[in-house]
Structure 1
């Protein structure tokens, strides 16, 4: 499905309900398998969460998780710890080129039985569940936090708990803290101090109801829309809270640079274009929130300001190489941009070409990050259905905001 996007007005007045956080939902779905007396409300309606639920509930030996990287990593650890379970995890072609060796090595070191079925270090993999009795594992701290969270999530179900030693510099700390906070929330004894995470064994917990906060990564596209809109444009988003567990909540600070203010109300936020954007270069280290890099880069381009974004090394192994994809598509629109293996450098400019086809590379965030540019130019998004990976209602919500959407 290819869509053409444009708008007759850049004024926004809307109220949108955003689905639950994919990051929180996927963690809680694993914990619910360990502790069935957990009730979850406001679950993410993303493809990733659906794939995870299907794999957990299916009796089939083969689980196909498509593009869902989080599901692949969390399920690898989960099934490795389920004694007697045999499971083959496979996915899309892109998934079979996303490395999993670091997590597999860590799990093998504590007794897991995992075999690569094609290419060494990559899915698909065959898992034979074991009782994992060793209580200490080491893993590099600068890898995807999903590897670390995968170990943390199974830790309370292991006979001796788990001590996770993080080697070297630690990145994506907010996502590790999110996992830790969810463990605390359901009553698991766990600690993260220095380079050591300790999670105690806990066979049972009391009955729990957990309400998932809406997804801050999804909120980023509305921040971009407001930044690119007229003064006094406003959108209300539910359900959000001021003390969020999600690293992407840093949006409320970053988007002040673009004249967007965030008012926290009970169970919601109100975004307002309250002033013109700053002309100065935006400089941000996004190592703790890399998923919002695409949105920020497109916002800067749409406003004609420069940005220097660093801490982006994990974007090379996402659904696509997001840094190269950004360079390619922004260049087509008239941008002057350079990327390295961990950074993006966009020069200020005023020119935005019209009627450019944006390729999405099977990456939901490419489609959603570029959509707000419709407030500046006519734009076409190819394979636009990819947004369902994390945000099934995205195009309906864009229509509510005021985008005119035509299927080509």
Structure 2
């Protein structure tokens, strides 16, 4: 499904309810599978979380997680400790190109039985559940936090717990802290000192508890972009959010001050307001090592405002649903931008011209579709394969219509 966005104008004083965080939901779903005493409220309705739930409750030998990268990493760890069960876990063509060797090697070090079925280092995998009785393993600290979280989520079920040493400078710390915080909420004992993370084995029963998932801050980024691209005085309320968030992408509230957007925290929501315009000579400089998923949104916001933008800490974007750095460069240049990329960075030059009637390719990447949508406030454009948003935010286009976007 392709959609067309006619040049639109934001309607003021709207409130949008956003689904629960995909990152929190998928972590809690795995913990619930290990500890059925856990109840969860406000679970994400994203494709990724639906696939995660389906895989965790399936009795089939073949588990297909399609494009769901988080599910691939977390389920690889989960099935490694399901003693006596054999599964094959596979995914889409792109998933078979996304590396998983770092996680598989770590699990094998702990005693897991995992075999590559096609190409070494990549899915699909055959996993025979086993008792993992070793506790010490080391990883490079700059790898995807999903590898680290996958190990931490199963750690309390290992005979001797886990001692994970991270070598070098740690990236995506907020996602690691999110995982540890959720473990602590169910009374699993953890510590994170210097570069060593320890998780104690859970020898007693987990007490019954209900955990509520906060709404997804990555999804909030598109509304921050909308407000940034709107006139001074425009505002929008989105729910349900809290000031002390576990999600690294909550840094949006700070970053978007650079774009003239203020955030007011309410009881369970936030109001975004365009409080000031931004001088075109402003240069946006950011290190997104701890929040790489919002890079696409920020790049499009800066382009829409005619600002120069330089972002580093983006090395993990090359192994996402697509190579997001190449995809961003390609699509922004269609619109008239000048973009330079490296393995780790993106530099956008200032420009006050936007080419109209451009068709944006999405590369099976939900964030490409959603990041470019706010430009509908500045120009007419088309979004190819727009249904890809269901991976994380199924109601996205309906919510954009609600706030005033003209979409056909």
Residue 10 of structure 1 deviates from its aligned partner by 4.1
Runs of 4+ in 1 over 3 A off after TM superposition: none
Matches within 5 A, 1:108-123: 108-123=108-123
In structure 2, C-alpha distance between the alignment counterparts of 1:92 and 1:150, rounded to whole Å: 20
Aligned to 1:263: 264
Aligned to 1:286: 288
Aligned to 1:248: 249
Give yes or no for contact 2:338–2:349 (8 Å, CA) kept in 1. Answer: yes
Residue 186 of structure 1 deviates from its aligned partner by 1.1
In structure 1, C-alpha distance between the alignment counterparts of 2:283 and 2:170, rounded to whole Å: 27
Secondary structure of the equivalent of 1:104? helix
1:229 equivalenced with 2:230 (yes/no): yes
Aligned to 1:32: 32
In structure 1, C-alpha distance between the alignment counterparts of 2:95 and 2:63, rounded to whole Å: 13
1:273 equivalenced with 2:274 (yes/no): yes
CA-atom RMSD in angstroms: 0.8
Give yes or no for contact 1:11–1:229 (8 Å, CA) kept in 2. Answer: no
Give yes or no for contact 1:259–1:278 (8 Å, CA) kept in 2. Answer: no
Secondary structure of the equivalent of 1:131? coil
Residue 167 of structure 1 deviates from its aligned partner by 1.2
In structure 1, C-alpha distance between the alignment counterparts of 2:50 and 2:210, rounded to whole Å: 20
1:312 aligned residue (314, 325, 337): 314
Give yes or no for contact 1:114–1:127 (8 Å, CA) kept in 2. Answer: yes
1:185 equivalenced with 2:185 (yes/no): yes
Aligned to 1:144: 144
Residue 287 of structure 1 deviates from its aligned partner by 0.3
Matches within 5 A, 1:6-405: 6-203=6-203, 204-279=205-280, 280-405=282-407
Residue 11 of structure 1 deviates from its aligned partner by 4.8
| Residue deviations 1:373-401 (CA, integer Å, cap 9, x gap) | 00000010000000000000000000001
In structure 2, C-alpha distance between the alignment counterparts of 1:92 and 1:399, rounded to whole Å: 31
Gaps of 5+ in 1: none
Secondary structure of the equivalent of 2:93? coil
| Residue deviations 1:7-58 (CA, integer Å, cap 9, x gap) | 4424533100000000000000000011100000000000000111111111
Residue 256 of structure 1 deviates from its aligned partner by 0.5
In structure 1, C-alpha distance between the alignment counterparts of 2:18 and 2:359, rounded to whole Å: 27
TM-score where L is the length of structure 2: 0.99
Secondary structure of the equivalent of 1:275? coil
In structure 2, C-alpha distance between the alignment counterparts of 1:313 and 1:181, rounded to whole Å: 25
Secondary structure of the equivalent of 2:31? helix
Secondary structure of the equivalent of 1:157? coil
| Residue deviations 1:66-123 (CA, integer Å, cap 9, x gap) | 1000000000000001111111110000000000000000000010000000000000
Give aligned pairs, total. 406
Secondary structure of the equivalent of 1:385? helix
Change (3 A) 1:8 1:81: closer
Gaps of 5+ in 2: none
In structure 2, C-alpha distance between the alignment counterparts of 1:191 and 1:309, rounded to whole Å: 31
